[in-house]
């Protein structure tokens, strides 16, 4: 985490609506993000905003052999950090709002081809139009019963954008669950588990 801290802090100061955090997610938050996912049933997983790979390591360690993995990182600096940490993984340096096109370019056919999306995006920093466009693109590629797992900072619920995002989720998913607060994270956060 200490090695990643300068990357996050500098990028947060330059691009707060892209990074949304001053530090990478803790291993405690990463554990909560992946808790309860049946990776034996995941044939295609995507990760939005993997950054330095706080969640990526757990996802890669859990995926079954032959499963496809689509990491998507828009920020050029964090894309470089990711490629350095995971040199053998193809990174899609695009917006998550382009998910249907990303899936097609990756050779995945069919409108519903993704079993799991793990997201580190700063939803509470996004305007409504961006929240909606990413959620629209996400549900367009998720299989029935597939999941979006994302997190939010407790302080984000004090903002209009954070409250709006929380209220949007039931419009897109049949079930939305919220974890307990992960206090051992900077800042404290909780996880949304959303089922298509």
Q: What is the CATH number of the domain that holds 128?
A: 3.40.50.150
What is the number of domains present in the chain?
A: 1
Residue 110: left if φ>0, alpha if ψ -120 to 50, beta else—which one? left
Domain span holding position 72: 5-195
Q: Which helix (H) or strand (E) holds 60?
A: helix 56-62
Residue 107: left if φ>0, alpha if ψ -120 to 50, beta else—which one? left
Q: What is the pLDDT along the chain (196 residues), one digit of tens a residue?
A: 445 545 444 444 444 444 445 478 999 999 999 999 999 999 999 999 999 999 999 999 999 999 999 999 999 999 999 999 999 999 999 999 999 999 999 999 777 999 999 999 999 999 999 999 999 999 999 999 999 999 999 999 999 999 999 999 999 999 999 999 999 999 999 999 999 9
């Amino acid at each position: 985490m200490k090695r990643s801290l300068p990357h996050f802090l500098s990028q947060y100061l330059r691009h707060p609506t892209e990074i949304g955090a001053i530090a990478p997610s803790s291993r405690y938050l990463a554990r909560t993000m992946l808790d309860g996912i049946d990776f034996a049933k995941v044939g295609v997983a995507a990760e939005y905003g993997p950054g330095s790979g706080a969640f990526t390591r757990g996802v890669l360690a859990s995926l079954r052999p032959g499963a496809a993995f689509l990491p998507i990182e828009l920020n050029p600096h964090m894309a470089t950090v990711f490629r350095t940490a995971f040199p053998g993984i193809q990174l899609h340096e695009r917006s998550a709002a382009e998910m249907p096109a990303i899936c097609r370019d990756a050779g995945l056919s069919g409108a519903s081809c993704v079993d799991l999306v793990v997201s580190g995006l700063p939803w509470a920093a996004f305007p409504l139009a961006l929240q909606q466009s990413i959620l629209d693109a996400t549900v367009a590629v998720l299989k029935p019963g597939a999941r979006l797992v994302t997190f939010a900072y407790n302080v984000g619920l004090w903002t209009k954008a954070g409250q709006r995002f929380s209220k949007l989720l039931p419009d897109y998913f049949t079930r939305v669950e919220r974890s307990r607060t992960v206090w051992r994270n900077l800042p404290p956060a909780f996880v949304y588990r959303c089922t298509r």
